């Protein structure tokens, strides 16, 4: 009887030891799995990124928009004055967790311990949304001091603007959907850009909008039986079909099916007016086509490209250069109503 008991005891101990070893193996396995878990690695990288941020102050964002293909932002940052030290540079930083970083130099003013910054000086100067790869990006303000110290600050929304969704221009039948939003990481507010593959463009989103000038009761410039409204509509229809052949989604502000009444030209800002229609298209580019008349000197002519005066002129210059080269024509010499871009004509 005594022997049987001790045998059972021996067996029991063996089972406990084996179970203990199995349990340890399972725990080690789980630990290895968790350490290599992509979500955990990302979380650690995110923690590292937020560790670099100065928690004493946040950037108060007062305005942000996407204009064309670029995201622009402005705001203020209150800092503690350090005597004798000036601000050398203010940059807008776009970072992802792979360590990639884009830096955009910002205009800034510094007075009364407040930095005011803005990337709005040129409407297509800020963050180029077309060039962002699929990923999550974090926006930071980098302030470089005259003693070479560098501080990073996070953004908090002090404006009345909401989240933004942007679709990139169609390339090879493919678009990215970009969401720009304010979020919170523990106690730190931040601004992020999330880029993902889009499942095609939503019905109301276009790549490019073309506005054939005038129309309806407004014929624009005329010469004999020709009207500017009619000629630019022909050009617009041709341009639309060529752009569609390249896979782009194009909106016309009017076409030959528009009723020939004054609505087309004069009710621009109404709910269904021309300007609203174009704004609602979410188009990244807008081209308005016009043909000017010249009654005094019939030899005058040539290409003119107008662009907003607070915009980088590279795209407009490229457009004008290509029209001149491909259509074998020349730049207009006229300078009324415009500031001639001397880079083209010199």
Q: Which positions lie near Zn ion, rule CB under 5 A?
A: 213, 220, 290
Instruction: Report the alpha-carbon distance of residue 278 to residue 89 in Å, rounded.
Output: 38
Identity of the residue, 216 or 220, whose beta carbon is nearer to Zn ion in the bound complex = 220
Identity of the residue, 53 or 210, whose beta carbon is nearer to Zn ion in the bound complex = 210
Tokens 């955009």 belong to 104
β-bridge partners, 277: none
Half-sphere exposure of 105 (CA within 13 A, CB side): 2
Per-residue tokens: 108: 């800034």
Instruction: Report the alpha-carbon distance of residue 119 to residue 107 in Å, rounded.
Output: 6
Shortest Cβ contact with Zn ion: which residue?
290
Identity of the residue, 126 or 215, whose beta carbon is nearer to Zn ion in the bound complex = 215
Q: Which of 154, 147, 153 is nearest to 82 (CA)?
A: 147
Helix H segments across 191-258? 228-245
Minimum distance from residue 255 beta carbon to Zn ion (Å): 17
Minimum distance from residue 265 beta carbon to Zn ion (Å): 10
Helix H segments across the chain? 2-35, 38-51, 228-245, 263-266, 274-280, 314-326, 342-345
Instruction: Report the alpha-carbon distance of residue 21 to residue 19 in Å, rounded.
Output: 5
Instruction: Report the alpha-carbon distance of residue 152 to residue 93 in Å, rounded.
Output: 9
Tokens 């995110």 belong to 46
3-state secondary structure of 131: helix
Identity of the residue, 262 or 314, whose beta carbon is nearer to Zn ion in the bound complex = 262
Minimum distance from residue 218 beta carbon to Zn ion (Å): 9
Minimum distance from residue 290 beta carbon to Zn ion (Å): 3
Identity of the residue, 194 or 290, whose beta carbon is nearer to Zn ion in the bound complex = 290
Instruction: Report the alpha-carbon distance of residue 264 to residue 266 in Å, rounded.
Output: 6
Minimum distance from residue 262 beta carbon to Zn ion (Å): 16
Identity of the residue, 126 or 220, whose beta carbon is nearer to Zn ion in the bound complex = 220
3-state helix, strand, coil in the chain (%, to 5): 30, 35, 40
Identity of the residue, 55 or 338, whose beta carbon is nearer to Zn ion in the bound complex = 338
Minimum distance from residue 208 beta carbon to Zn ion (Å): 20
Minimum distance from residue 213 beta carbon to Zn ion (Å): 4
């Amino acid at each position: 009887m005594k022997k049987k008991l001790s045998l059972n005891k021996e067996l029991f101990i063996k089972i406990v030891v084996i179970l203990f070893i199995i349990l340890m193996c399972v725990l080690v396995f789980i630990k290895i799995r968790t350490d290599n878990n992509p979500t955990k690695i990302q979380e650690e990288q995110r923690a590292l990124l937020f560790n670099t941020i100065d928690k004493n102050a946040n950037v108060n964002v007062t305005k942000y928009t996407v204009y064309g293909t670029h995201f622009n932002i402005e705001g203020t940052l209150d800092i503690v004055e350090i005597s004798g030290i000036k601000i050398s540079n203010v940059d807008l930083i776009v970072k992802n967790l792979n360590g990639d970083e884009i830096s955009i130099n910002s205009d800034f003013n510094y007075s009364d311990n407040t930095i005011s910054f803005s990337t709005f000086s040129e409407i297509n100067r800020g963050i180029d949304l077309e060039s962002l790869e699929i990923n999550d990006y974090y926006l930071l303000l980098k302030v470089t001091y005259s003693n070479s110290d560098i501080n990073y600050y996070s953004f908090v929304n002090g404006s009345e603007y909401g989240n933004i969704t942007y679709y990139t221009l169609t390339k090879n039948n493919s678009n990215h959907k970009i969401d720009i939003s304010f979020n919170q990481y523990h106690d730190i507010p931040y601004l992020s850009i999330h880029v993902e593959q889009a499942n095609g463009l939503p019905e109301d989103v276009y790549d490019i909008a073309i506005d054939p000038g005038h129309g309806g009761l407004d014929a624009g410039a005329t010469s004999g039986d020709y009207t500017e409204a009619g000629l630019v509509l022909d050009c617009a229809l041709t341009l639309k079909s060529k752009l569609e052949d390249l896979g782009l989604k194009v909106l016309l502000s009017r076409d030959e099916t528009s009723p020939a009444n004054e609505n087309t030209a004069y009710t621009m800002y109404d709910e269904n007016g021309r300007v609203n229609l174009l704004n609602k298209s979410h188009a990244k580019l807008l081209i308005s086509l016009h043909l000017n008349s010249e009654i005094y000197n019939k030899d005058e002519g040539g290409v003119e490209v107008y662009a907003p005066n607070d915009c980088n002129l590279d795209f407009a210059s490229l457009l004008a250069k290509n029209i001149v080269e491909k259509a074998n024509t020349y730049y207009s010499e006229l300078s009324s109503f415009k500031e001639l871009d001397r880079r083209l004509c010199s």
